[in-house]
Amino acid sequence: MTSQAAAEHTLLSADIVNRGVEASGPDAGALTFSVRVRRRLPDFLQSVNLKYVKLGYHYLMNNLVYLAMLPFLVVVFGVEIRSLGRPEELWRKMWDKATYDLAAVLGSLAVFVFTIFAYFLSRPRPIYLLDFACFRPSDDLKISKEEFIDQARKSGKFDEASIGFQSRILKSSGIGDETYVPKSIMDPTIPNTATMKEGREEAGTVIFGALDELFAKCHIRPKDIGILVVNCSQFNPTPSISAMIINHYKMRGNVLSYNLGGMGCSAGVIAVDLAQDMLQANPNNLAVVVSTEVVSFNWYTGKKRSMLIPNCFFRMGCSALLMSNRMWDYRRAKYSLENIVRTHKGGDDRSFRCVQQEEDSQGIKGLSISRDLMEIGGHAMKANITTLGPLVLPLSEQVMFFATLIWGYLFKNSNKNKSKSGGAVTTAKPYIPDYKQAFEHFCVHAASRTLLDELQRNLELSDKNVEASRMTLHRFGNTSSSSIWYELAYLEAKGRVSRGDRVWQLAFGSGFKCNSAVWKAVRRVRTPTRHNPWLDSVDRYPVPL
């Protein structure tokens, strides 16, 4: 077996599937089974790339260089003071025998004050998350898996082969029977839902619903918002969605608005990163970040199977969050933003084409999902997680991780020499960092059950660590860039977030991109009594998938 074939073999997993009792043919009445081979995430922590570790330490040192100098200056100052004699003698010299020039004293004081002032101005402003809201559609938009297939058949938009394929995908998707879809996609009187009218109607429903809840929770007026960032990957009308929001709420004329399109399911973290940069550049400001996806605009009614997969997973949803850089907002904030790490693999052609919007052979537009998605996503996550590690892992984990990484690098070089000389080759098992020591809560993008299973196995997470992601997938489906906020809402509804807890939001999407955001709870988050999408169902969760 060649090295390439061996590498490909490690990315495959086989499952024995019970296909039930054969209804007809020579094997009628007998149980039948089949072997299903599927791709899985690579063991990306077993082959860590040194350059991403170096990048993480580079970020870390940029932030710690000033703090590292402070103990050195204190030691030097202490040595100088000790060389002058005892404190009583120093005091006597200063006040009994010394004469001072008023100009010199005032000048020294001014330099000291200016230095302190410059230090605080140069520090990045703390960014706070005051609150967030996740939209829950009305109950008349709920649809079970059985109703989904039944209505798809009645709509006349799919042939039987396409319906059967979607039915099989839904059964193993991890999605429950209470997700939400727009009525237009199953309406036989609407042959094409990818229209501006349908897109604007759905966008307005979910976005204005989320923003109304956010403004009510935070007791602020839309005119108080100075920065607006909106992300929606597929639906990008003119005027933009951000302009729709400004028009609907009659926001002030100098609001700084940004509209991100085509950025995929990881755009929620990108939008937060942009809002953070704008808040750093504009003091005493409030920023609103809106993350959503318009399901009806990308609904696919053709026969290509790779383009039918998104129909089975994507559901209605939207999140809106309020961020602030005002110091006095610390007391009412829920979280502070600690780190954001973004990874983009778009330079690789396979990664770039992994998730792509295109037309099929019949000219029907949809979103095509490559069969290499698991492998490509794994490599992107490996790069992102390795870069994030030095910023968040405890010192003990970093020492073990870095030592075994160098040891493995040395073993690799020695193995090359041994293989050339015909000697025995030894292997060093890498140390997998325990990310559970860095975070109390995990919010991993709820893309599919298979991906969550593989990610849990790779990072050695417990069932409770991925509970929020699994239950969000079951209750709301894949809501794209807003899913990580439905997961955080689940943790709050369960009353699990305490002061000082760290939350890791990990999202990935087309491009191919993988992005991480780390939040720290400023205070204990009380169990919500209203404005939470889980209030009517949280007592039923978790449920087995």
Instruction: At 218, list the tokens.
Output: 């935070």
Q: How far apart are CA 506 and CA 435, in angstroms?
A: 13
Q: Is 495 helix (H, G, I), strand (E, B) or coil?
A: coil
Q: What is the mean pLDDT of residues 31-52?
A: 51
Q: How many CB atoms lie within 10 A of CB 173?
A: 21
Catalytic residue among 232, 265, 312, 443: 265
pLDDT digits (tens, 9 = 90+) for 457-466: 888 899 999 9
Supply the pLDDT for residue 321.
Answer: 97
The fraction of the chain above a pLDDT of 90, given in percent, is: 53
Q: Is 398 helix (H, G, I), strand (E, B) or coil?
A: helix
Does residue 42 fall inside a structural domain?
Answer: no
- Residue with the bigger pLDDT between 72 and 272: it is 272
Does residue 46 fall inside a structural domain?
Answer: no
Strand-pair category, 286-292 with 256-260: unpaired
Q: How far apart are CA 393 and CA 414, in angstroms?
A: 29
Question: Could you give the number of structural domains in the chain?
Answer: 1
pLDDT at 544 over 50: yes
Does residue 455 fall inside a structural domain?
Answer: yes
pLDDT digits (tens, 9 = 90+) for 470-517: 999 999 999 999 999 999 999 999 999 999 999 999 999 998 999 999
Cα torsion 247, 252, 256, 257 to 10°: value is -10
Is the CB of residue 481 less than 8 Å from the CB of residue 509? yes
Q: What is the mean pLDDT of residues 275-303?
A: 94
Does residue 114 fall inside a structural domain?
Answer: no
Q: What is the mean pLDDT of residues 318-328?
A: 96
Catalytic residue among 344, 443, 465, 532: 344
Amino acid at 323: M
Looking at every residue in the chain, the average pLDDT score rounds to 82
What DSSP string runs through 422-477?
TPPP---PPPPP-GGGT-SEEEE----HHHHHHHHHHHT--TTTTHHHHHHHHHH-
Q: How far apart are CA 519 and CA 499, in angstroms?
A: 11
- Which range has the worst mean pLDDT, 53-67, 148-162, 359-373, 385-399? 53-67
Supply the pLDDT for residue 33.
Answer: 47
Is the CB of residue 527 less than 8 Å from the CB of residue 492? yes
Q: Work out the angle at residue 374's Cα, subtended by the Cα atoms of residues 489 and 235, and round it to the nearest 5 degrees.
A: 60
- Which range has the worst mean pLDDT, 68-72, 165-169, 423-427? 423-427
Supply the pLDDT for residue 37.
Answer: 39
Q: What is the mean pLDDT of residues 270-287?
A: 96
pLDDT digits (tens, 9 = 90+) for 107-117: 767 776 777 76
pLDDT at 44 over 60: no
Catalytic residue among 232, 298, 311, 445: 445
Supply the pLDDT for residue 105.
Answer: 62
130 CB-near residues (< 8 Å, 6+ apart): 218, 322, 323, 324, 329, 332, 333, 334
Question: Band of the pLDDT at 106, cuts 50, 70, 90?
Answer: confident
Q: Residue 478 catalytic?
A: yes
Supply the pLDDT for residue 163.
Answer: 93
- Residue with the bigger pLDDT between 114 and 159: it is 159
Q: Residue 219 catalytic?
A: no
Supply the pLDDT for residue 82.
Answer: 58
Supply the pLDDT for residue 2.
Answer: 47
Q: How far apart are CA 464 and CA 57, in angstroms?
A: 30
Q: How far apart are CA 445 and CA 485, in angstroms?
A: 9
pLDDT at 391 over 90: no
Does residue 529 fall inside a structural domain?
Answer: yes
Does residue 427 fall inside a structural domain?
Answer: no
Supply the pLDDT for residue 322.
Answer: 98
Q: What is the CATH number of the domain that holds 345?
A: 3.40.47.10
DSSP state of 27: T
DSSP state of 340: E
Instruction: At 52, list the tokens.
Output: 């991403």
Q: Residue 58 catalytic?
A: no
Q: Which of 179, 258, 237, 250 is nearest to 208 (CA)?
A: 250
The residue segments making up the domain with residue 447 are 127-399+432-540
Supply the pLDDT for residue 109.
Answer: 72
Q: How far apart are CA 166 and CA 151, in angstroms?
A: 12
Question: Band of the pLDDT at 529, cuts 50, 70, 90?
Answer: confident
Supply the pLDDT for residue 230.
Answer: 98
Q: What is the mean pLDDT of residues 13-38?
A: 50
pLDDT at 290 over 50: yes
Q: Is 125 helix (H, G, I), strand (E, B) or coil?
A: coil
Catalytic residue among 318, 354, 474, 532: 474
Q: Residue 265 catalytic?
A: yes
Catalytic residue among 218, 232, 311, 441: 441
Does residue 515 fall inside a structural domain?
Answer: yes
Does residue 146 fall inside a structural domain?
Answer: yes
Catalytic residue among 285, 458, 465, 478: 478
The fraction of the chain above a pLDDT of 70, given in percent, is: 73
